[in-house]
Amino acid sequence: MIRYWLVLLYHSLRYIRAKRRNRTLRLKIDDFTLFSDNLRKAEIPVVVLRWWDVIPLTTEEKKLYRDDVDCLIDENQIWPIIKLAARHPGSIKVDLYGICGRNGTSYKGLPYYPPTLAQKIYRSRVWHNGFFIPAEDEYKLSFIYHVVYHKGTVAGLGFEETDAAAPSNKFLRELSRLGESDPSLKNTGLTLLGLHQYLKQHGWSMPVDLMSRWKGNDEVIAKFKDLEEGKLSKLARKLEGLVVFVIREDAYVCNSIKSIRSMLSEKFNILLEHQLSTEQSQAIMNNTRGGNWIEKRRPSATKPTELWVCQPKIKTAYVSKKMKRKYPLIDNFEVLIKREIREKVNEIDDVKRVVIHASDNDIESAIIFNCAFDGKVDDELHKLQFLS
């Protein structure tokens, strides 16, 4: 019993440290299959993301195992997981990534996978040889995402050309295996650029506005960022100086939309108000980082419902160095009116809601606008009289 409390204290301190350092919690387990099965019985699923075929089962395998087990969890259940882990102390390293990547379950302060995609992985889980793993399609797409955006050239792939004669590694072997039953994957040439395009076609690519904030795999992510922003540069110029606000479905409290419109009108001319269709809403969630479309203790996403294009009446004259460091991507700090709007709406019944998002700069305005109106961008631009 004393050992249990000591191990629990150890894991608790590591969790606090992970939160402070914007990292994810690493547990150390003796028997992963027993640990996973006990979690399953407690209805606390943990999903092994990859390489489950080499998880050690025997005493000898445990001694030789040097890798770590990457898992996806519902971070709302982090403490029950920590408490159960304290009953299984050992040497197998288990990294816990949360669906939304909140403090202590993040990858360098950001979600390991975009939350809407992470939720797909989590909900697709199937029981396999003693633990949960993603379903086949979600595994394939999440594995490719991991290779392209987390690993990059470290995985042995070239950006535009991968040497077929180069010695195979575990990433290339697994991609080749997945390509045997998927000709379109095989036709990518297993290059980072080809795989990026493959993920885009399947709605699984990294959001462009997330690329601006991602820390790691810097050279490859920078190339993707330049490529995707280049495609949006013409639209960004047409939207120059404008701010795109996205109203969420948690904004509709009493007469709050009227209040939001009034507050925005003090600092912005509202040029366009557009009700998002189901398809447009999903496209925005899949292709923008948002804040957290999936919020704490909510099983489903809080969806975007309206898109408003606004023209600032003024540009913030002075911004402190501290604010610039905190918000390095913001062009016009008038967009921070979104914080006042949240406070105003949340005062109605003292419930914490996100309510509204805003683009930080011209490229982000173009990203959101393009997500919503892909294929009909010009038609919508003409509705903005100052651009016609």
- Residue 59 within any structural domain of the chain: yes
| CA atoms of 292 and 328, how far apart (whole Å) | 20
* Residue where the block lists tokens 């991968």: 162
The model's pTM: 0.92
Q: What type of residue sits at position 283?
A: A
Give pLDDT tens digits for 171-190: 999 999 999 999 999 999 99
Q: What is the CATH number of the domain that holds 365?
A: 3.30.70
Per DSSP bridges, beta strands 25-29 and 126-128 are unpaired
Residue 388: pLDDT band by 50, 70, 90 thresholds? very low
- Residue 139 within any structural domain of the chain: no
State mean pLDDT over 115-133: 94
State mean pLDDT over 19-42: 92
State mean pLDDT over 264-284: 94
> Nearest 5°: phi and psi at 128?
-145, 110
Share of the chain above pLDDT 70, in %: 96
- Residue 382 within any structural domain of the chain: yes
Q: What angle do CA 50, 121, 216 make, to 5 degrees?
A: 65
Least confident of 6-10, 60-64, 362-366: 60-64
Q: How many domains does the chain have?
A: 2
| CA atoms of 63 and 85, how far apart (whole Å) | 19
- Residue 306 within any structural domain of the chain: yes
121 shares a domain with 250: no
Q: Is the pLDDT of residue 164 over 70?
A: no
State mean pLDDT over 240-269: 93
- Residue 356 within any structural domain of the chain: yes
Of 165 and 358, the structure prediction assigns the larger pLDDT to: 358
Residue 298: pLDDT band by 50, 70, 90 thresholds? low
Domain endpoint, select from 134, 157, 181: 134
State the pLDDT at residue 97. 96
- The separation between CA 190 and the C-alpha centre of its own chain, rounded to angstroms, equals 24
- Residue 331 within any structural domain of the chain: yes
160 DSSP 8-state letter? S
- Residue 67 within any structural domain of the chain: yes
Share of the chain above pLDDT 90, in %: 73
Least confident of 78-87, 216-225, 272-281, 292-301: 292-301
Q: What angle do CA 288, 291, 294 make, to 5 degrees?
A: 95
Give pLDDT tens digits for 49-72: 999 999 988 888 888 888 999 999
By residue range, what is the domain housing residue 283? 240-387
- The separation between CA 293 and the C-alpha centre of its own chain, rounded to angstroms, equals 10
| CA atoms of 362 and 105, how far apart (whole Å) | 31
State the pLDDT at residue 24. 94
State the pLDDT at residue 136. 96
Domain endpoint, select from 101, 134, 167: 134
State the pLDDT at residue 66. 87
| CA atoms of 306 and 356, how far apart (whole Å) | 10
Give pLDDT tens digits for 196-211: 999 999 999 999 999 9
In this structure, which long-range contacts are made by residues 149-152, counting pairs with CB atoms below 8 Å and at least 24 apart in sequence? Answer: 149/206, 149/214, 149/217, 149/220, 149/221, 149/224, 150/107, 150/216, 150/217, 151/217, 152/192, 152/217, 152/219, 152/220, 152/221
Under 8 Å between Cβ of 219 and 377: no
Q: Is the pLDDT of residue 165 over 70?
A: no
> Nearest 5°: phi and psi at 248?
-100, 165
State the pLDDT at residue 57. 85
Alpha-helix residue ranges (DSSP H) falling in the chain: 2-20, 32-41, 59-64, 78-85, 115-123, 136-145, 170-179, 183-186, 192-201, 208-211, 218-238, 256-267, 278-287, 321-326, 337-346, 362-373, 377-382
State the pLDDT at residue 126. 97
Other Cβ atoms closer than 10 A to 229? 17
- Residue 87 within any structural domain of the chain: yes
